[in-house]
Amino acid sequence: MPYALITGASRGIGQAIATELARRQVDLLLVARSGDALTRIGQELATQYNVQVRSLALDLADPAAPQQLFDWCQANAIDVSMLINNAGYGLSGDFEQYTVAENLAMMQVNMTALVQLTQLFLPQLRRQKQAYILNIASSTAYQALPGMSLYAATKVFVLNFSRGLHHELSGTSVSVTSVSPGATDTGFNDRAQINDKAREAAKKVVMTPEVVAKQAVEAMYAKKAEVITGAINKLGAFAAWLLPKSLVEKTAYKIYKE
């Protein structure tokens, strides 16, 4: 039986998507940097839901990792029918406070690895009777975000690439869905070093990974092109489109600026 390949599966939304799919009796291939966490999660899901779970520890910040993942699947005769590009992280603060290497590593994980994996697995996905690509974007894809400028730009890329590919693959066996979560109760804020003011603001609209994952999987199976999770996040995206960009951006910067 073909597998669902989930990147960033060791925590947060990725782990919740893995659980949601296991509940639906889908076999899983879990990928993340943390091998120990993947092994533990895989054993728990296999036992609880009686599904096959494989795992592979890889850091997608390494440009060679996507090809290594694809080659590993080929060597182990693993067919993929769902490609879930969930891995991603943010860097908060002014753009110039980070090194070129730090910024490029984030771009590699958030954008380039996603494109590499999509291109590598797409021929295999086309051969499936029904296949899915699920790309996790962000509510930040709907506006420029001073204080997280590059991160938000990477998510604009994910959203637009996904929407374009959705139309290109219309009429084939492969459906492409982009899901844009807002504030979610994961470890994102810690890794991104989000300030206390922004964390406090997010508490009003924060969602659980489980709720986001359920909406994401339902949107994927429904073959939707694009979904924003949560009513508040939908309203925020509409407001970002409706209001003057300078006003939206200045307001956001007041929150994210130390």
Check: CB of residue 38 under 8 Å from CB of residue 57: yes
> What is the arrangement of strands in the sheet containing 3-7, beginning at the earlier edge strand?
53-57, 27-32, 3-7, 80-85, 131-136, 174-180, 226-228
Coil, strand or helix: which one is 54?
A: strand
Q: At what angle do helices 113-126 and 149-168 cross, to 10 degrees?
A: 20
* Catalytic residue flag (residue 151): yes
Report the distance separating Cα 22 and Cα 217, nearest Å: 11
If you ran DSSP here, which 8-state letter would residue 139 be given?
G
Among the listed residues 49, 151, 221, 253, the single catalytic one is 151
SS3 per-residue string spanning 199-230: HHHHCCCCECHHHHHHHHHHHHHCCCCEEECC
If you ran DSSP here, which 8-state letter would residue 9 be given?
T
Active site residues: 151
